[in-house]
Structure 1
């Protein structure tokens, strides 16, 4: 693997450039942490740029309002704190990120664990487990359709515009699919909000507890949770100066609270968004799913999740995986700038966590993610020169 690590230098250089574009250009992100590995070997674990740089966004100048330099907070990993890489090191200095839609992967794993134990049938109807979801019952939506985004539900609803938790859930329960379930794929946060309610009804426990007891605690993911405590605040990357018209709520600069407006409206614990984590913790999850760590699922359940068409995971998507796509790579992205890719063909993983919405959101651009995936793919391909 030494040769592979030597060839990974282009990946290191690419991520460094992503986080530190020259002044006068609009960088893709204020800062980034990248972790890549193969099997038990860490190939890259680096942090570049700033976890906190801006106090606000100035709409008039279309630029971030920078904090005094002494208040900028660097991105950090254990390596940047002078520690050795690897699962045994102290990860207490690593930058914590709002994972956004990477949360869906954890909800998926919880669902697969529940299916393994006979609590749900993947082809069972949502109405069998949560009959209060009357629209899902009327249209026969199944658990598998939620996991594969084939329920026909809209991408999202403005639940944040409703007063009170019960009114928000009432709107969700009554929302019918826009297209017939099972006929087309349409990515939707609503799928995972329904799935959350199914899992909570079946188990009698909150999703936060199910994630903790079924995934993060067994894997030693000590920096992964919903609603991070105030003690973590110095480690957490800022997200957005959230204001209308570019955002859906007026909340100001966010740090340590969930960015997604619906997850915020639902109390910070949601099936589609809300988890916070670090690159080091996500590395532990990647290894477990690749068969190199403590198992959280049976092998056949992992196969169902990670093989086409995928359950919860996106399969072979070059727009964010680059040249890792094409051999069954599985992964996901998050709106705040996060992404994760597993390549079972080479037992490798790529975790890229950035704060692309700091100080404000921009049109989606996954070119840097794809370039990082291509750099890793080429680094692990014998005889192929790096970028």
Structure 2
């Protein structure tokens, strides 16, 4: 997004209606309903006790809502396998300004600090980490690069129990002596150790602790006053509870945790770690989201240049299909981004139940902060609330029809087939022609749109090859009569030559959308559908009421957005 033309500052957040954000109000309300559904037992315990939801587009926060409880449970009863609820008077409702342990969302802050060093020329992404931090180079880690740490391609395993060593020196020795599980650069393996190493690297080259860097270079310039490591005791009444931490599910026996970092290794490192330990609110994270979508600036403050921010939205893991990653940020992860996922959608999750999703394609952002390890980490699994909310947020961004008030929408159901069938028609014995506008965004090969024809009253269907043209691009021939995957979320023009027929049998055409797997993408839209005969006459025109009324929609709907 460009800076304001009036004063040269970057856009800052404001609260406003869904309409002022260019979003659909009803979809945002359904987002809240989707999130609230996970407050119920599943099967005997909610996914989270509560959550704070924040969603917006451009500079407008259109949704900021708290649901459920920040503190609900006294602990976990191993004998019954159930959470033990506090008396109602001791429970605490979730609030919009509740502070959360972000867990692995902390990695984003560490990554931003590293990219700042890259921007200043103090770090080189392709350089060996050991050239800055010689101790790190032992046990086969000599060739690991800075970029490999930030893209999780270092080959290091996911985790080490650093908390078992009583001294900081012992913890570091465990890392220095750790050998890669795979040769560097050969696999993508998510690892806390990567960002702990980035922390040590930053602290070495700056001679400053990570928490001071966070404050001075990110939170203070951006006015993020509720974001920090090791929150003071005065914050405790505003912090969501995490876990009743005790063996066997926790590595440390700490009892109910609230206001201290949940992650054992971060706790053992004094609460300040590159992989975990940051506490924040949804509002503060929205400021960070807006800053990155602005290209690194917020108001009069700039923490990164646009080209540096671009490093976070650029995939460096092309060699590892299914694992796209910018510097620090995950890209296009449908398992929590849902239908918001595009090749440039960036984000991260945190083990405590947190997530942040940024979609530069639509300039939109979604924050879900939940306390899903309260009172015990093993009671919730998967990322269903994150996906449900992200799907609804994607649906809240309108797809405006190219002609008239509505376009035909395929829906976003998984494991379904939806058909939009034209009436029987006679375009003449020669070649007729179909034309329409088409918009699609599906999971590649898991959501496919087919154009098909039948000349025997719908008894048998065969594919019709067609051509798509995206504005400003060359035409693309679709010989299989189908499209799937990413189209840029813009309207394409479609043309198809209908085969000549040897007899007078009536012709039928249909669009068929088939999905499989747990994720579907944003779906398909068809608009401005026309058929011309071989003599140029208009045989079917969707804009004519008498023609549109003859369309048969099974699973499709006429949508204004």
Task: Give the TM-score band, short-chain normalised.
Answer: over 0.9
Deviation of the 1:306 alpha carbon? 1.5
The structure carrying a bigger strand percent of its residues is 2
Query: CA, structure 1 residues 199+386, in 2 after alignment: closer, same or farther (shift >3 Å)?
Result: same
Can you list the C-alpha shifts for 1:268-299, whole angstroms capped at 9, x where unaligned?
A: 10000000000000000000000072432110
Partner SS state of residue 342, structure 1: strand
Q: 1:60 aligns with which of 79, 95, 115?
A: 79
Query: CA, structure 1 residues 138+278, in 2 after alignment: closer, same or farther (shift >3 Å)?
Result: closer
Quote the residue 1:365 is aligned against. 382
Q: Is the 8 A contact 2:137 2:143 kept in 1?
A: no
Say whether 1:249 aligns with 2:252: yes
The structure carrying a bigger helix percent of its residues is 1
Alignment: residue pair count: 370
Deviation of the 1:138 alpha carbon? 4.8
Quote the residue 1:205 is aligned against. 208
Deviation of the 1:178 alpha carbon? 1.0
Between the two structures, name the one with larger relative contact order (CA 8 Å, sep ≥ 6). 1
Structure 2 unaligned spans of 5+: 1-17, 316-324, 401-408, 414-561
Q: Distance in 1 between matches of 2:42 and 2:89?
A: 18
So what's the TM-score if we normalise by structure 1? 0.92
Q: Is the 8 A contact 2:74 2:86 kept in 1?
A: yes
Deviation of the 1:15 alpha carbon? 1.7
Quote the residue 2:393 is aligned against. 376
Q: Is the 8 A contact 1:139 1:176 kept in 2?
A: no
Deviation of the 1:367 alpha carbon? 1.2
Quote the residue 2:478 is aligned against. none
Quote the residue 1:35 is aligned against. 54
Q: Map 1:1-387; keep pairs closer than 5 Å.
A: 2=19, 4-6=23-25, 7-19=27-39, 21=40, 25-77=44-96, 94-135=97-138, 138-291=141-294, 293=298, 294-308=301-315, 309-362=325-378, 364-382=381-399
Highest Rg: 1 or 2? 2
Deviation of the 1:13 alpha carbon? 1.5
Partner SS state of residue 57, structure 1: strand
Q: Distance in 2 between matches of 1:354 and 1:386?
A: 25
RMSD value, Cα: 1.7
Q: Distance in 2 between matches of 1:186 and 1:22?
A: 33
Deviation of the 1:43 alpha carbon? 1.6
Can you list the C-alpha shifts for 1:285-341, whole angstroms capped at 9, x where unaligned?
A: 000000072432110111111122311111000000000113421100000000000
Q: Distance in 1 between matches of 2:343 and 2:331?
A: 9
Q: Distance in 2 between matches of 1:57 and 1:227?
A: 25
Query: CA, structure 1 residues 115+235, in 2 after alignment: closer, same or farther (shift >3 Å)?
Result: same
Q: Is the 8 A contact 1:289 1:295 kept in 2?
A: no
Query: CA, structure 1 residues 61+131, in 2 after alignment: closer, same or farther (shift >3 Å)?
Result: same
Q: Distance in 1 between matches of 2:293 and 2:285?
A: 12
| Stretch deviating more after TM superposition (300-309 or 99-108) | 300-309
Structure 1 unaligned spans of 5+: 78-93
Q: Distance in 1 between matches of 2:239 and 2:183?
A: 41
Partner SS state of residue 328, structure 2: coil
Q: Is the 8 A contact 2:52 2:95 kept in 1?
A: yes
Query: CA, structure 1 residues 24+181, in 2 after alignment: closer, same or farther (shift >3 Å)?
Result: closer
So what's the TM-score if we normalise by structure 2? 0.64
Deviation beyond 4 Å, 4+ runs, structure 1: 383-387
